Amino acid sequence: MTPKTDITSRKISFEILHAILNQGSLAHELFTAQSAWGELPARDRAFVRVLVMSCVRQYGQLTICIDSFVKRPPKPRIRTIILLGAAQLLILKTEPHAAIHTSVSLARALAGDAYTGLVNGVLRTISRSGENLFQATNPSDNLPKFFKQDWSKNWGEFAVQQIMQLAQSQAPLDITLKNTSSTDVDFISDWTEKLSAKSLSAHSVRCEPVADVTQLPGYHEGQWWVQDCTAALPARLMGTVSDKNIIDLCAAPGGKTAQLISAGAHVTAIDHSATRINRLSDNLNRLSLEANIICADGRDYIPENPVDGVLLDAPCSATGTIRRRPDVLIGKTPTHIKQLQSLQIELGLAAAKWIKSGGTLIYATCSLQKQEGEEVLEALISNEKSGLILDPIKREEADIFYPSNRVEDTIDYLRILPNQLLTNGTDNRGNDGFFIARLTVK
């Protein structure tokens, strides 16, 4: 980097990280919206992304170190600058002089000379004495107290340790291939070779993470889409959908919609966000797939005719995606989870009214919270007006996600933790966490 791009990249890193930590913004949206980041040279863009995501992934561990070397909490903007400097020293192993000098320059540019001494002093102390303290921290220190207590109680401390260890590294890239079935062995083998990937199931392949997916073979030809292997499961559990009318509720960005269309369904894709609808439309256009796309709140929508099934991948805390989106943990509270639960129940009950007798509702969330999974399921089936009953999931349907310790060949619902592929030996880089239940309308 030149001195000019050096400070520019740090400023952009500051703006993105500060918005994540203090405004509840999501990293992937900020990177997309940050035009200055997009204008940087490729090498500098990569540096900014790695620096910001290192701060987010190991926020708790870095905070422990910083708090040990400051007498009182610095102002949020100054704390963000110190956090960026500490991440360079302790995680990225940037040369100390460069990390400290650029951090002091950033403090001067953003806040004048008032805080340059503080930034300089704290980072010099971290450079001399922070390494041992940082090494003594634990990946679970990055988990907010509320989540740590909840996950430890529900999933056990060992699982929590594994999940947080998986979240330390960038997640691999999972891809769903277009027009695949369980018998397309040669087709899948061909694409695993083209993408330098490994096959996870008959439907998903796993690649190494890349900076630009549009440069991978088959992207512009619409041969595949990015979709975590776990996220591909809810649509498959809908069963045979050829010539059936299916609603994909909360459909954006469109991976599940694409699966259903590829399987022969007539799909109505609904999402409440115009921005997300546009993204869904763009994705389907690239894949040369068509759906009836509607921007609406699912709680108010009424279809013209009853449908054969609804796939509801409900808005949720997204805590199961921590490997790919470690920022989802920041700012979440029990109140926020409760609000999401209410929305999920409302959407589930609304969707049940749209389905023909004997039709299917798939309820799914990428959350590790029981409040957004098991408790919502109980609320749906205990509501007499819903007409919903459980439709157990078979071992062969769940494939690599069926619990390895379960003797029975069916299960009421799937609770998939991010360490499942690690524990069952499929892949040591894990998967997204999900809750999936299949219900039938009486």
Q: pLDDT of 344-379, one tens digit each? A: 999 999 999 999 999 999 999 999 999 999 999 999
Do residue 122 and residue 187 come from a single domain? no
Instruction: Give the model confidence (pLDDT) of 169-189 as tens digits.
Output: 899 999 999 976 555 677 888
Any domain includes 233: yes
User: What value does the mean pLDDT of the chain take?
Assistant: 94
Q: Is residue 165 part of a domain?
A: no
In 3D, which of 441, 436, 339, 315 has the Cα closest to residue 381?
441
Q: Cα–Cα distances in Å, from 265 out to 174, 208, 430, 442? A: 23, 31, 30, 22
Whether the predicted pLDDT of 284 surpasses 70? yes
pLDDT at residue 213, rounded to an integer: 94
Q: Which of 7-11, 234-238, 271-275 is least confident?
A: 7-11
Domain match, 127 and 181 both: no
Residue 402's SS3 state is coil
Residue 159 lies in a domain: no
Structure-token match 């740590």, residue found: 148
- The whole-angstrom separation of Cα 361 and Cα 348 is 8
- Distance (Å, whole) CA 350 – CA 343: 11
Query: Residue 211: its pLDDT value, please?
Result: 83
Residue 123 CB neighbour total at 10 angstroms: 27
Tens of pLDDT along 415-425? 999 999 999 99
Query: What does DSSP assign to residue 74?
Result: P
- Do 308 and 357 lie in one domain? The reply is yes
CATH number of the domain enclosing 78: 1.10.940.10
How does pLDDT run across 314-348, given as a tens digit for each residue?
999 999 999 999 999 898 899 999 999 999 999 99
Examine residue 145 and state whether it is found in any structural domain, yes or no.
no
Q: Is the pLDDT of residue 385 over 80?
A: yes
Residue 386 Cα to chain centre, angstroms: 30
Report the alpha-carbon distance of residue 415 to residue 406 in Å, rounded: 12
Q: Which two tokens stand for residue 308?
A: 């054969």
What confidence tier does 4 reach under pLDDT thresholds 50, 70, 90? low
Find where tokens 């949020």 sit.
76
Question: In this structure, are strands 173-177 and 204-207 parallel, antiparallel, or unpaired?
Answer: antiparallel
CATH number, domain of 249, equals 3.40.50.150
Residue 432 maps to a domain? yes
Domain boundary among 137, 164, 185: 137
Q: Show the beta-strand stretches assigned E in 188-284.
A: 198-199, 204-207, 224-226, 245-249, 266-271
pLDDT value, residue 6 = 72
Q: Which residues of 369-378 are buried (b: 16+ CB within 10 A; e: fewer)?
A: bbbbbbebbe
Residue where one domain finishes, among candidates 137, 158, 185: 137
Q: Kindly report, residue by residue over 388-427, the tens digit of the pLDDT.
A: 999 999 999 999 999 988 999 999 999 999 999 999 999 9
d(CA 319, CA 316): 8
pLDDT in tens, 93-118: 999 999 999 999 999 999 999 999 99
Residue 156 lies inside a defined structural domain of this protein: no
Q: What is the pTM of this model?
A: 0.93
Can you tell me whether residue 283 is helix, strand or coil? helix
- Whether 132 and 177 share a structural domain: no
Q: Which of 359, 350, 349 is nearest to 379 (CA)?
A: 349
Q: What DSSP string runs through 307-369?
A: EEEEEEE-----GGGTTT-GGGGTT--HHHHHHHHHHHHHHHHHHHTTEEEEEEEEEEES---
Say if residue 109 is in the same domain as residue 219.
no
Number of domains in the chain: 2
Claim to verify: residue 378 and residue 289 sit in the same structural domain: yes
Do 272 and 406 lie in one domain? The reply is: yes
Measured CA distances, 139 to 143, 177, 181, 318 (Å)? 8, 34, 39, 19
Check residue 183 and give its pLDDT. 55
Q: Let me know how long the chain is.
A: 442
User: Do 125 and 204 have their domain in common?
Assistant: no
Full residue range of the structural domain in which residue 245 is found = 173-441
137 CB contacts (<8 Å, ≥6 apart)? 60, 61, 64, 65
Q: Are residues 229 and 336 in the same domain?
A: yes
pLDDT band at 1 (very low <50, low <70, confident <90, very high): low
Query: Who contacts 225 (Cβ-Cβ below 8 Å, separation ≥6)?
Result: 175, 176, 178, 254, 255, 258, 283, 287
